[in-house]
Structure 1
Amino acid sequence: MILVPQSWMWLLSRFVAGFAVAGVFVVVESWLLMADTQKQRAKRLGLYMTALYGGTAIGQLAIDYLGTTGHLPYLVIMGLLAAASLPALLVKRGQPQASEQHSISLAVLKKLSKSAILGCLVSGFLLGPIYGLLPIYVSQDMGLDQQTGLFMALIIMGGMLVQPLVSYLSPRMHKNGLMAAFCLLGTAAIFLLTQHSIVSLSIGFILLGACAFALYPIAISLACDNLPTSQIVSATQMMLLSYSVGSVIGPLVAISFEQMEHGLLLYLGASFMLTSIYLGGKLLVNTRPRLSAP
C-alpha cells in the first residue's frame, strides 16, 4: 500500500489483509476454546475479549498522535505486526495438545446451536454500524463533534468492563437467557441515547458497548459447548463467518433508516429488541415442562 498508492492495489491489499485477520481470529479463538471445562473456556474468552477491545481502544487513541498522513502510521503498524509475530515464534509453552482436526459435516452443521449462530450474526449487525456509522451519527445528527472520540471510547470501555461479568455468568446461566438479558439491557441503552443529558449519554454509550460486545463471546462459547475438540476449529470458522456476514449486512440495512429521526438508534434498538424476544421465547419453550403421553 505504501509502494503503490493506487485504488486497485489498496483493494487487493485490504482483501489479503482480510484473509490474514480472519486467520488470526480463527487460530486464536479455537486455541482458547480448547479447554476442559466451560468455566475455563469462559475465563479464557473473557481475558481474550478484554485484551482485544483494550487494543482497539489504544489503537483509536493512537490515531490522534500518529495522524493519518505520511508513512509513520504504516511503519508503526508494520512494527506492531512484526512484534506480534515474535511470541508465536519464540514462546513454546502453553501450546494446545496437537490433535487432528475434522471439518464439520452437513449433518453436524445442522445440529450447531441456532442461537449461537444468531448471536454471532446479530453481533455483526450491531458492531458493523457501531464502528462505521455511529461516529458520523454522533458528530452530525447529535451535533457533538468534539465529543465523538470520547463517546466511542466509552463504547469500547463498556465492552472491556463487561467481559469479566460475561466470563463469570456464562458457565452459570443458560446462555440463551444471558444473551436475551444483554439484548434487553441494550434496548434500554438506546433509550438513554435519545436524551440530551451528558450523564445519560455517557451511561447509554457504556451500556451500548457492554451489550453489543457481550454477545459474541457468549455465542461462540455456546456453539462449542458440546463439540469434540477435533471440530472446534471448524465451529469457530462458522461463527466468525456468521459475524462477518452480519458486519457486512448491518451497515447496509442501517443506512435505510437514515431518513427517519434517530434512524440509526431505531435500527440498533430494533436489533436488540427482536433478538431479545426471539431468544427469550426460545428459552421459555426449552424450559417449559413437557407432558408425558398417557
Structure 2
Amino acid sequence: MLQVLSGVWALLLGIVLIMLGNGMHFTLIGLRGGIEGFSAAELAIVTSGYFAGFLAGAHLTPRLIRRVGHVRVFAALGSFMSAGLIAFPLFTDPWAWTVLRLLLGFCMSGVYVTAESWLNAASTNETRGKVLSAYMIAQTLGIIGAQYLLTLGDAATSVLFIGASIMVSISFGPILLSVSPAPVAEVARPMPLPSLFRSSPLGTVGIFLLGAVYATQSGMAAVFGTQIGLTADQIALLVAMLFGGALLLQYPIGWLSDRTDRRKLIFSAAALGAGSCMLAWVFGGGLWPLMAAAFFAGGVTTPLYALFLAHTNDFLSAEDMPAASGGLVLAFGVGAILGPLITGSAMQLLGPFSFWLVLGTIFGVIALYALYRMTQRAVVPAAETESYIGMLPTTSPVAVEAASVWAAEQAEAKLDADGQF
C-alpha cells in the first residue's frame, strides 16, 4: 500500500487540505447564517446553490480542460474558490451567498474532475482500487478535521472564513508542484435517465433520493444545530459524527455487499438510517442521542452511494458503465439540489427537528422501494456481481467511471480465476 501511495501522496495531501477548507465553509454557512438571522428556508436556498454549481462544474470542466489544460484550470478554479471563501463575511445577504455558493460548487466540482484525472492517470489496473480508496479516506479525514478547526475561532468574525481560504490556497502547492502531465479528462455522455431507469430502477431512484439525504446532512445539519441552540463546538461535533460514521461503516457494509443480495443490504442500511433519524426526531432533546443518530444516519449514507453504483453496474455491460455513471451522478445532483429546499421549508413550517423527520422519511422511502424491487426482479448471484468500491457522493464522474471500470475488471478476473478450478 505504501508503494502505491508513494506516487500520489502529494495529490492526496492536497485533497486533505482542500477538504479542510471546504468542510469548514459548509458548517460555517449554518453558523454564520444563524448569527446573521437568516431563516432555514433562506439557508436551504444557499445550500442548494452549491450543488447546482457542482452539477454544472461536472459537466463543463472537462471542456475547459480540453481547451486550456489541467494546470490552468486547476489553478484558476482554486483562485476563484479561495476568493469566494473570503467574500462570505463581506456580503452577508442570502442571495449574495447563493451566488457565492454556486461559484464554490462549480469550482469544487472542477477541482475534483482535475484531481481525479491525475489520480486515474497515476494508477494502474492493479492499483486503481487502492488509490480510489485512499482518495475517499483523504476526503473524509479532511472534512472531519475541518470540524475541529472550526472550534479554534469565532464564526461571528472573518477569521474562520480566512482560515478556510488559506487552506484551499496552500492545498494547490503540493499538487501543482508534483503532478506530471495528465491525459485529457474524458467523461462519457451521461446515459438518459429513462434508459438508466429501465436498466436499474432501484439504482436510479435510490441515488436520486440519496442525493437529497446527503445534501441535507452536509448543508443543513449546522442550520439545525444553530436553531436548537447548540454551541459551535457541539455543531462541529455533530457534523463530524455524520462523516465519522461513514468512515467506520464503509468497510463492513462493503464486505457484506460482495457476499449477499445488495437489495437486502440497501434495505437494511436505509432502515437503519430511517430508524436513527426518527429516534432523533422523537427523543433528540439530549446531545448524545443526536450524536448517535448523526453517526448512524451519516454512516449509512456514503456506503449506500457505493451500493447503488455497484447494484446498477450489476445489470449493465462493461461498455455501458461509463455512460451510466454519468447518469447516476446527474440523478444524484438533481436530488441534492431539491433535498435542502424541501428540508428548509419543513424546518421553517414545522420547526428545526423536522430536519430529522425529512431525512427519516427519505430513508424510509428508499427502504420500502428496495423491498418492492425485490419482488420485481430475481436476485443476481453474488458470484456474478460487480465488485464494491467505496466512493464518496462528492466525487466527480471521472472517479465514478474509473471505479466502475475497476469493478468490472475485478469481477471478470474473479470469474476467470474461478473458471480455472
TM bin (shorter chain): 0.7 to 0.9
Segment drifting more, 74-83 vs 223-232: 223-232
Distance change in 2, residues 1:13/1:271 (3 Å): closer
Answer yes or no: is 1:233 the counterpart of 2:325: no
Superposed displacement of residue 179, structure 1 = 1.2
Determine if contact 1:46/1:166 at 8 Å carries over to the other structure: no
CA distance in 1, matches of 2:188, 2:242: 38
Q: C-alpha distance in 2, partners of 1:237/1:29?
A: 18
Aligned to 1:246: 335
2:304 corresponds to which of 215, 219, 233: 215
Q: Given the alignment, which residue of 103, 107, 126 partners 1:17?
A: 107
Distance 1:35 1:111 in 2: 30
Given that 2:214 and 2:336 are in contact with CA atoms closer than 8 Å, whether structure 1 keeps it comes out as yes
Bigger Cα displacement from structure 2, 269-278 vs 74-83: 74-83
The amino acid of 2:359's aligned partner reads L
**1:78-134, CA deviations, whole angstroms, 9 ceiling, x for partnerless residues?**
2213423556527x9xx9xx9x98646659645431211222212211111112212
The corresponding residue for 1:58 is 145
Would the aligned equivalents of 1:257 and 1:264 in 2 still touch at CA under 8 Å? yes
Q: More deviation in 242-251 or 231-240? A: 231-240
**Greater CA drift, 45-54 or 19-28:** 19-28
Contact 1:135 1:148 in 2 (8 A): yes
Distance 1:31 1:113, change over 3 A: farther
Distance between the aligned counterparts of 2:161 and 2:106, measured in 1? Answer: 22
1:151 is the counterpart of 2:238: yes
Q: Distance in 2 between matches of 1:154 and 1:113?
A: 32
Preserved CA contact (<8 Å) 1:30 1:233:
no
Is the aligned partner of 1:84 residue 2:171? no
Measured in 2, the distance between the counterparts of 1:101 and 1:15 equals 19
State the distance in 1 between where 2:237 and 2:350 align: 25
State the secondary structure of the residue aligned to 2:377: helix
CA distance in 2, matches of 1:240, 1:117: 10
Secondary structure of residue in 1 paired with 2:259? coil
CA positional deviation for 1:165: 1.4
Q: Distance in 1 between matches of 2:114 and 2:199?
A: 23
Q: 2:223 — aligned with what?
A: 136
Cα pair 1:155 1:205 within 8 Å, conserved = yes
Aligned match of 2:210: 123
Q: Report SS of the residue matched to 1:89.
A: coil
Deviation of residue 30 (structure 1)?
8.3
Question: Identity percentage over the alignment?
Answer: 19
What's 2:359 paired with? Answer: 268
- Find the counterpart in structure 2 of residue 179 from structure 1: 266
Shift of residue 163, structure 1, vs aligned partner: 0.9
Distance between the aligned counterparts of 1:159 and 1:238, measured in 2?
Answer: 24
**TM-aligned CA deviation for residue 153 of structure 1:** 0.9
Provide closer, same or farther for how the CA distance between residues 21 and 119 of structure 1 changes in structure 2, counting only shifts above 3 A: farther
The structure-2 alpha-carbon separation of the partners of 1:203 and 1:14, relative to structure 1 and needing over 3 Å to count, comes to closer
Q: Does residue 277 of structure 1 match 2:368? A: yes
- Mapped contact 1:163–1:214 kept (Cα < 8 A): yes
List gaps (5 residues or longer) in structure 2. Answer: 1-79, 154-158, 380-421
User: Structure 1 residues 232, 78: closer, same or farther in 2, change over 3 A?
Assistant: farther
**TM-score, with structure 2 as normaliser:** 0.55
Q: Which residue of 2 aligns with 1:291?
A: none
Mark the CA change 1:44 to 1:247 in structure 2 (over 3 Å): closer, same or farther: same
277 and 244 in structure 1: CA distance in 2 versus 1, 3 angstrom threshold:
same
Moved more, 224-233 or 195-204: 224-233
Q: Which has the higher contact order (CA 8 A, sep 6+)?
A: 1
Where does 1:91-110 land on structure 2 (aligned, <5 Å)? 103=189, 109=196
Shift of 1:205: 1.5
The change in CA–CA distance for 1:232 and 1:14 in structure 2 (over 3 A counts) is same
Report the secondary structure of 2:171's partner residue: helix
> Residues 192 and 203 of structure 1 are in contact (CA less than 8 Å); yes or no, is this contact kept in structure 2?
no
Deviation at 1:21, TM superposition (A): 4.2
Deviations 1:23-81 (A, max 9, x none): 2587589889x979xxx96x8765543333222212333344584344x5434312213
In 2 relative to 1, CA 35–229 (structure 1 residues): closer, same or farther, beyond 3 Å?
A: farther
Give ranges in structure 1 of 5+ residues lacking alignment: 289-294
Residue 231 of structure 1: how far off its partner (Å) = 3.7
Q: Secondary structure at the match of 1:118?
A: helix
Contact 2:191 2:327 in 1 (8 A): no
Q: 1:108 to 1:162 in 2, by over 3 A?
A: same
